[in-house]
Amino acid sequence: MSTLTEMPCEIIISVLRELDDVRFLLPSLLTCHYVYSCFKQNPGVAVDILQRQIHLAIIPYSVAVLEATRLDPRYDTDVYELLGTLYTEPSKFTERLRTMPVPLLARMGHVYELIHTFATEFASSAWTHLSTDQESEVAGSLVLSPSEYIRFLRNFYRVELYFCLFRSAPNTPFREQLFFFNQPPWETEQVACVHDFLELKLSKASYDVLAHDVELGELEIDYITAGDNQFRQLWLSQGVDFTHKLTSESSYDDKKSLLKSAFGGQKADLYDKLIEPLETDLDDHTPLSGYTEKDLAAEFTPMEGQDTDKGPFEAWRVTFNPLPPSAWVMLTNNSGLRERAYVLWDLDRIEKYGLLKLFDNAPKDSELQHTPNDYDEMNESFKERSEICRKGGSGHWSKNDESRIVWSK
């Protein structure tokens, strides 16, 4: 029986090439010197694995996110060059793979797996909402089409790229507007959908700590306001790795430590940017219904590799038809629609299940909405926890229950 070291290098490389995740390559290379030697003769196998793992259409975004974590955001030219390449020559990012060391490729594989997990969870959650809506014709389990899968992934990457570029950059609104330059509003609304989903994930994962911890109550950290919430924007700005760790962590103390670790860090307020209309839009009061498809096509010139499916456009147009350009993205009363990923479905699916009708009747509020009574209870909890803190208490507070409070001697 042949041993591993007696096998031809070609077989070893063929086996390595079948790995599902480029992160598995490094441990494989450490199994023995012979495997590592075979890899050194065929280093391109690492890129082959990554290209099997990550869809070709997503690789430019994957590389852009990696590059964004390594450039100095203080320099406008670096940001302009990265965004310009991504928008006009994305294939150049794909070409860079061949010169990247395995640890960087592994990092790209790690981020992809996190985004894949979040994207598929969002799609499934949105489909569940649609299936339970009144008069719904949606049935069966969700199987995303290839174009839908890419669309969901791409927009999670866009959000991650935004945070990587701008969380530690000086306040330069023009650069942030460049991020959305020539991106049609229905695609910006896709980014808004992902923002809301990630905020909901973070909100649920942090609620127990923020609503009950004495120290964080003393700081009066708002744990229920959606969108315009500076602490949530700070935590979202830390990226998908941070959000995934928070949502995966079960320990109360570890969650608190993770949340506190971001204090003093930099943030990029994506919500604020999404609700801020472009200056050029403010003087145009023409409703969307006054624009023809030809008008919109002329204003938003398609870029290389841009999504051509009409589903997102049709869903967006029906929703915003009576509104002017300054109100074409991120309206508060469309929260329920964004929760249903309404601008992320293919036209075939929209027509098959009559989704435009469902969108028209979808609840306006999302799970992130709260009542005035919720705010009263939050503010009362701030007062009670602050009083406990001044008396030397710490730990977990609950209304009318101080059994888990730890008192200093």
CB 117 within 8 A of CB 154: no
- Where does the pLDDT of residue 188 fall: very low under 50, low under 70, confident under 90, or very high at 90 and above? very high
Give φ, ψ of 394 to 5 degrees. -150, 175
pLDDT score of 283: 77
- Where does the pLDDT of residue 13 fall: very low under 50, low under 70, confident under 90, or very high at 90 and above? confident
pLDDT score of 46: 85
Q: Give the helix ranges, DSSP H, for 30-75.
A: 33-41, 45-53, 59-68
pLDDT score of 155: 97
What are 251's two structure tokens? 């320990």
Q: What is the rounded CA–CA span in Å between residue 48 and residue 25?
A: 11
pLDDT per residue over 38-80, tens digit each? 788 887 888 888 888 999 999 999 999 999 988 876 677 888 8
Q: Is the pLDDT reported for residue 4 higher than 90?
A: no
Q: Which residues, including other chains, have CB under 8 Å from residue 191's CB and lie 6 or more apart? A: 155, 158, 159, 162, 270, 274
- Where does the pLDDT of residue 409 fall: very low under 50, low under 70, confident under 90, or very high at 90 and above? low
In angstroms, what CA-CA distances link 306 with 150, 183, 242? 11, 9, 29
Q: Is the pLDDT reported for residue 170 higher than 70?
A: no
pLDDT score of 134: 80
CB 55 within 8 A of CB 151: no
- Taking residue 266's Cβ as centre, other Cβ atoms within 10 Å add up to 14
* Domain locations along the chain: 4-52, 55-370, 378-409
Mean pLDDT of the chain: 88
Distance of CA 12 to the CA centre of its chain: 37
CB 163 within 8 A of CB 202: no
CB 33 within 8 A of CB 109: no
End-to-end, the C-alpha distance of the chain in Å comes to: 71
Bridge partners for 396 per DSSP:
213
pLDDT score of 260: 95
- Where does the pLDDT of residue 306 fall: very low under 50, low under 70, confident under 90, or very high at 90 and above? confident
Q: What is the rounded CA–CA span in Å between residue 382 and residue 359?
A: 38
pLDDT score of 139: 79
CB 311 within 8 A of CB 345: yes
Q: What is the rounded CA–CA span in Å between residue 142 and residue 128?
A: 9
Going by C-alpha positions, the residue among 14, 12, 10, 2 that lies closest to residue 32 is: 12
Q: What is the rounded CA–CA span in Å between residue 10 and residue 297?
A: 50
pLDDT per residue over 346-389, tens digit each? 999 999 999 999 898 888 777 777 888 989 999 999 999 999 98
Q: Is the pLDDT reported for residue 282 higher than 80?
A: no
pLDDT score of 2: 61
Count, in order, helices (H) and strands (E) of the chain: 23, 2
pLDDT score of 257: 95
Q: What is the rounded CA–CA span in Å between residue 37 and residue 144?
A: 41
Report the percentage of the chain scoring pLDDT > 70. Answer: 94
pLDDT per residue over 223-267, tens digit each? 999 999 999 999 999 999 999 999 999 999 999 999 999 998 888
